[in-house]
Amino acid sequence: MFYIIMIVIFVVSLIIQGRLKSLVSKYSQIPVASGITANEAVRQMLQANDAFGLVIKHTGGELTDCYNSKEGAIYLSDTTYERNSIAAVAIAAHEAGHALQDIKGMTGYRIRQLIAPVVNFCSQAGIYVCIAGVMLSYFIEKDAGGIGYYISTAGIVMYSVAVIFYAVTLWIERDASRRGWKAMQEFGWVSDEQLGAAKKLLWAAGDTYAIALASSAVTLLRLLAMRGGRRR
């Protein structure tokens, strides 16, 4: 059952990623009604929130847009930088939303920044530590409730950091999209007819993180089941 669920999640992930790329491709060809560029949209959004001192930089590629808190910079990709398409403005507004989360000290953003450096290690090492504990109980310990159980528990705690990370990431991604969409409405960058397209783009990006959360949660449940089985 576990493997079937993971295959389904993988397939859904591919569908979501394909849909996002399709939406970006489609709405990269349609200019916003106001004619504003992504760069100017970011400036307006930041100024309206008294967020000064940030810089906008160009980075190569597609969908490589990001906010770098250490540099105080918003990076816009080839398909976003100085472009005036619906996709470009929506993506830029989303990244500006992340900058505002940082500047305003959003709790979720701070949590994510705190645990981000150890996520990769915990997600990978946690699985191996848990499996090692289960195997120790199975092959060495007569009592499955001994040290192997506690080692596997330590692995589960480690992996839980990754689940928390994805949960918090989904939270802040949705929040950044809401901030971006609100700005697009308030500043009138897009027409009423274009608002639906902008919302699709902003929410599609967050869907990729929802899948990552689902995958990590299923893996965590699998680890708990493995440890629980040996405990009995």
Q: Indicate if the pLDDT at residue 153 is higher than 50.
A: yes
Domain count, the chain: 1
Distances, alpha carbon 20 to alpha carbons 16, 64, 206, 211, in Å: 6, 13, 10, 13
Question: Residue 141: pLDDT band by 50, 70, 90 thresholds?
Answer: low
Distances, alpha carbon 194 to alpha carbons 18, 87, 201, 232, in Å: 21, 11, 11, 58
pLDDT tens track for 6-55: 888 889 888 988 888 899 999 999 999 999 999 999 999 999 999 988 99
**pTM to 2 decimal places:** 0.87
Q: Report pLDDT for 229.
A: 59
Domain assignment of residue 172, given as a range: 2-231
Output 131-134 pairs: Cβ under 8 A, ≥24 positions apart. Answer: 131/155, 131/226, 133/227, 134/226, 134/227, 134/229, 134/230
- How long, in residues, is the chain? 232
Q: Report pLDDT for 137.
A: 79
Nearest to 41 by CA among 204, 172, 182: 182
Alpha carbons 149 and 136: distance in angstroms, whole number: 8
Task: Count CB neighbours of 168 within 10 A.
Answer: 22
Alpha carbons 17 and 204: distance in angstroms, whole number: 8
